[in-house]
Structure 1
Amino acid sequence: MSHKFFLILTVIIRIFKEYRLRSALSILGVAFGTFALITMVSVSDSLKEKSRLEIEKLGKNLVVVKSGKVRVFRRRSRSITTAKTLKISDATAIKQQIDHVVKVLPSFHISYPVRRKGTTIFSTIIGVGREYPEVRNIKVKEGRFYSETEEKTGDKVIVLGYKIAKDFFGSEDPVGKTILIFRVPCKVIGVMEEKGSDVSGEDQDILIYTPLKTAMRRLANVDYINTIYVQVDKKENIPFVKKKIKELLRKRHHIKKGEKDDFTVLSPDDYLRMETEALHIFSILGGVSATISFIIGGIGILSIMILIVNERMEEIGIRRAVGAKKSDILFQFILESAFISVSGGLSGVFLGSVLSVSIFTIFSLPHTLSFQWILFSFGLSVLTGILAGVYPAIRASNIKPVEALRRA
């Protein structure tokens, strides 16, 4: 067996030398198919994993209700129209009247200058309930979040985002210190852990949190809110809850049929819709390019094997004349075509893996290189070579010794 394999290997090396260009093109076709498939799947899986992680930053099974008309463009929500019709009572009604709702947090966002010792930074202040960290899946790094008592009385206490705490205090402990929000002195009681931007594009580390009553009464003096965070029990129930929230708020805001909503209901899927569509197109194009490459590689192997059969008539005739079986000839030519595809497959696996890891590193994406997909891609390349070699192998095995020797 080892002698036969060595003989076949010697023949294949000779073929590579005689048909350098055709062999190289055949290998490249299979290699590119394997390379494209591995890279496409790896990058696609990595982007999906990144999206999943960013959805977790927004909060588990969270629906966000915003006042006015809001459009999502490149993940960022932008207000098209504003409204002052969203009330705390709307949040209470959502909690009481809609099934599958676990928690509801009314919130008021406002941008104000924040000052301390000559340093002024414009920041977004979020007035919200004490359950906000749990709903938004964030944690306090230093100090604490405000208590139920502070929330009810509207105490002038704040919790800083990670970056804004660094900007104001550097390495100094900010807990217990005072900063001015507009003209109101507020006591720092905590600092949130570093979180980064969520799926909506909002940087969580530059926000300042305070009780809802504090933001509405002491800072802005308003009776309306501009955001409601609604946590749903299961992901599958989010579409149902979104629909019911729209129906409820239209009724409560006395919006007639045909009139536009004065609010917007968003879920993580709304922020990711454009990206999901782009990923879908990317996957389709990657699959098509990989398929075309495998077909081209298969055709290349098929053509070169047919040429090899035609030029090795004498060899085939002599082998058949001295007792070689049809199965021996069949096995030899299939093995030769498989060897070409294995060379292409290994090259494609190496290049695809290297490029995928490089993309993960350069763009700070999750590493999701799948060993199963590598095996599948390599197996597909080998299968391409075997299938492409079947016809030439059958043709070679059916050559009669007398006819082959006569033609030679």
Structure 2
Amino acid sequence: MPAQAQLGNLRDRARRAVENVTGRDDARSGRRLSDGPSQLEASRAREAAERAALEASPERQEAIALARELMTVFFAHRDQLRDLDAGYVRELSEEDLARIEALEATFPTLQAAMLPLAERWSDGEYDEFWLNVEQAFRRMEIEDADYMEVGATFEGDLDWALRTMTEAIADAATYRREQAAGEVGTLRFQLETLRNEDDLDDYDLEWAARIRDQTDLALRYDPSNADLNEMRAETIELVAEMESAFRDQIATNRWPGHAGGAPTQHARAVLDYLRGDDRWGQRGDGYEVLAVAVRGDWRPVKHNLLGQVIQWGLPVVVATTKPSWRDDFGAAQLYELTMLAPEGLPAPQRPPFDAGYHVGLSNQFVALDRIPNQ
């Protein structure tokens, strides 16, 4: 066969081979194009069915319902939960204790909201159970939007709310213990200082009562504190001893009366002055000025540069009382005063006593029935 004819045959074979291959590829491609959309739709349908089944599952619906209930409770008490700071020791007070007690009053409600979640997904354990709940919610593909109210603003999620509520319950007990323990050193120091006081007076009794009351307040924070319970027993015993000694003092002391030769005619002027003074008879708390005894003659209290007396003072003892002394002990307190006459040269020895007075050191108590009526 001529070479030209052979070349033509080769060309025909090559063309037919290409056409055969192209035809088969077109057929396969056509089948893939026709099969492709149906497989994709089937995959999407399966995913949608699985999602619908998940969303309709009783477990997921239960979880969302419980989460909504818990978040409602959390939002209702969020400010109280935030206000607790167990690491910061505040001053003990009725107000602070009331704040903690109000928070603790919410704990049954908080626990009732948390318990179903703990029992369902964490074996009822509170200690870090929110981690198990979080894992369960992630498995069920529950998002914040599934249980949060529309429009709610909240810097956290269910996990954060559970942790905050759980820690608040634990921190309240810690806070109580820390508050009470922080008061032990101060109260112990005050008690020992008071025990070493030499001169017993009403201030010491009031001081002892304050220590007792503060100890009682600290024990209301933590009744189990051993140091506070020990100090309370010591304080009660000390108060009883001090009151007994105070009553003995009252029974022993006497009203001194006027001194012989004293200018007693000025006693009424002193009494009237003190009863009208806002630091004595006009205090407004039931404080009374009962009597005055002139305890001596006029004394010089001020001199000029030449050594001349320009002011005289009259020594007196004044008896006073107030409701706590009168009602609890039937007693009056005695003060030594030096009433100041007007200044001048020559200096007068007479009222008025508008210049005031100097207070002495005497601080005795006397039975009321020994004070004269004036």
Q: Considering the TM-score relative to the shorter chain, is it more than 0.5?
A: no
Q: TM-score normalised to the size of structure 2? A: 0.27
User: Which structure features the higher share of strand residues?
Assistant: 1
Q: TM-score normalised to the size of structure 1? A: 0.25
Which structure has the greater CA radius of gyration?
2
